[in-house]
Amino acid sequence: MIKKNLFRFALSFSLAAFFLYFAIRGVKLSDLVLSLKSANYWWLVLLIPIALLSHWIRALRWKYLMAPIKKDCSISHLFGAVMIGYAVNNVLPRVGELVRPYVLGRQEHVSKSATLATVVVERILDLMSFYFIACVTLFLYPHALDPFFMDATAVRPFFFAGSFAGLGLFLFLFFKADTFFRYCALIKNVLPKKYSAKIDPVLDSFYQGLGVIKMKDKFAVIILLSFAMQALYALGMYEPFFAFSSLAKPELNFGASVVLLVISSIAWILPAPGAMGTYHSFLTIAMVKLYGVDKTTALSYSIVTHELGYIVIMVFGAYYYFKDHINAAEFGIGEKDVSNPAGKE
């Protein structure tokens, strides 16, 4: 397991280094330093409460998702688990999603497998809201893909269709979980008994964790919180425009921040630690090609927005890690296998 984590760590940072080099290529260090010094950091300080509020709303939505398992989950425990998970993702991409059930399960004494299922539902909700926003963005801003393709006109319909199909797929998974589990049961029946016996408790725990799907009265507030998070993410892209005098232009409005949000979200999909490098590269290209921003300022913008968010997550993640006396071995980074979230609890 240690070798596997070391390989994942090396691969992630190699990817980050490649895209970071691509982002800074052609930019003079002296010009970049001058650009960073000229920024109005009072505007950037406002990013901290925006980021924390978005994370708190994620924790609040998670509280609704956890209701079928435990109705009175502490919002502080939920928020702490979110921050610890994000901090782990900043080092080992995707591992944080498996860490969160361990942390919350330890704090709230609930099934880690069932809790992992709520994280799966959470990701489905994130993808649903993202695909919806991507569809709307590509419709309203058809040139958003131009910087990334030689012939964006030819590929744009495929991206639009793919976003729409993805939205439909995740809606199906969210609202038709019973059908999904019936197929899982069929697959289980063809496996040897020693394996099927192990799968039963895992499926039962996941089905319990997906119980929120049956809570029709909670759909509206869960969807509202999902889009509230996306709105805060877009606000976090928009507000830093005012920190750079050269970005004070009419075309860099809130709509532009939504376009940049969609593009930067794609960068977060790549397995670089905390989207290091991928975020800087994608965002810099988009700002230069779409809005005519000079590369030095675009890179400065990507640096301050990414690094400030990164620092906030690491500080609060570390705070809750030590405050709640969490041990890394408990959630599998080290002695235990984090890839076995349904193991002995």
Rounded Cα gap, residues 108 and 74, in angstroms: 8
For residue 65, pLDDT over 70 is answered with: yes
- Residue 164 maps to a domain: yes
Both structure tokens of 281: 């590269």
Report which of 308, 284, 309, 301 is spatially closest to residue 36, judged by C-alpha positions.
301
237 domain residue, yes or no: yes
Q: Who's near 31: CB < 8 A, 6+ residues apart?
A: 296
Of residues 123 and 285, more confidently modeled? 285
Is 80 part of a structural domain of the chain? yes
Number of domains in the chain: 1
Nearest Cα residue to 131 out of 181, 174, 179: 174
Question: Where are the alpha helices (H) located in 190-277, listed in sequence order?
Answer: 193-209, 219-238, 254-269
pLDDT (average), residues 138-156: 79
Q: Which residue has the higher pLDDT, 304 or 269?
A: 304
User: Does the structure show a pLDDT above 90 at 193?
Assistant: no
pLDDT value at residue 70: 87
More confident: 250 or 184: 250
Within a domain: residue 290?
yes
Question: Is the model more confident about 9 or about 277?
Answer: 277
Q: Which pLDDT score is estimated for 342?
A: 35
- Given pLDDT bands bounded at 50, 70 and 90, which one contains residue 86? very high
In a domain, 342, yes or no: no
For the cut 80, the answer to whether the pLDDT of residue 196 exceeds it is no
In this prediction, what percent of the chain has a pLDDT beyond 70? 80
| Domain annotation covers residue 344 | no
Please tell me the predicted confidence (pLDDT) of residue 1: 54
- pLDDT surpassing 70 at residue 283: yes
Euclidean distance between CA atoms 32 and 46, whole angstroms: 22
Choose among 242, 239, 279, 244: nearest CA to 262.
Answer: 279
Between 84 and 193, where is the model more confident? 84
In sequence order, what DSSP letters do the residues of 114-153 get, joined into one string?
HHHHHHHHHHHHHHHHHHHHHHHHHHH-TTTTGGG-TTHH
Q: In this predicted structure, what is the pLDDT of residue 165?
A: 78
The band of 148, judged by pLDDT with boundaries at 50, 70 and 90, is confident
- Residue 345 clears pLDDT 60, i.e. is over it: no
Position 229 confidence tier, pLDDT thresholds 50, 70, 90: very high
Structure tokens at 127: 């993808």
Q: Which string of b and e fits 132-166 if b means at least 16 CB within 10 Å?
A: bbbbebbeebeebbbbeeeeeeeebeebbeebbeb
Output the average pLDDT for the chain: 83
| pLDDT for 68 | 83
| Residue 336 domain flag | no
CA 218 vs CA 54, 58, 65, 288: distances in Å = 19, 15, 9, 42
Q: Can you give the pLDDT at residue 338?
A: 36
Q: pLDDT at residue 328 above 80?
A: no
With a cut of 90, say whether residue 324 has pLDDT above it: no
- Give SS3 for 229: helix
pLDDT at 73: 92
Q: Is 107 helix (H, G, I), strand (E, B) or coil?
A: helix
- Coil vs helix vs strand at 341: coil
> How sure is the predictor about 343, in pLDDT bands with cuts at 50, 70 and 90?
very low
- How many CA atoms does the CB half-sphere of 55 hold within 13 Å? 25
3-state secondary structure of 337: strand
What's the DSSP call for residue 31?
A: H
Does residue 282 register a pLDDT over 50? yes
Q: Which of 229, 311, 262, 217 is nearest to 58 (CA)?
A: 229
Q: What is the extent of the structural domain holding 191? A: 2-331
Spatial CA neighbour of 142 closest among 127, 150, 152:
152
pLDDT computed for residue 344 by the predictor: 36
Considering the entire predicted model, what is its pTM?
Answer: 0.82
CA pair distance 206, 222, nearest whole angstrom: 19
Joined together, the tokens standing for residue 189 give: 């029946």
Please check whether residue 325 lies inside any domain of the structure.
Answer: yes
Whether residue 200 has pLDDT greater than 80: no
Tell me how many degrees the CA angle 36-39-41 measures, rounded to the nearest 5.
110
107's tokens: 């704090």
Confidence of residue 334 (pLDDT cuts 50, 70, 90): very low
**Model confidence pLDDT, tens digit, residues 166-184:** 777 777 766 766 666 666 6
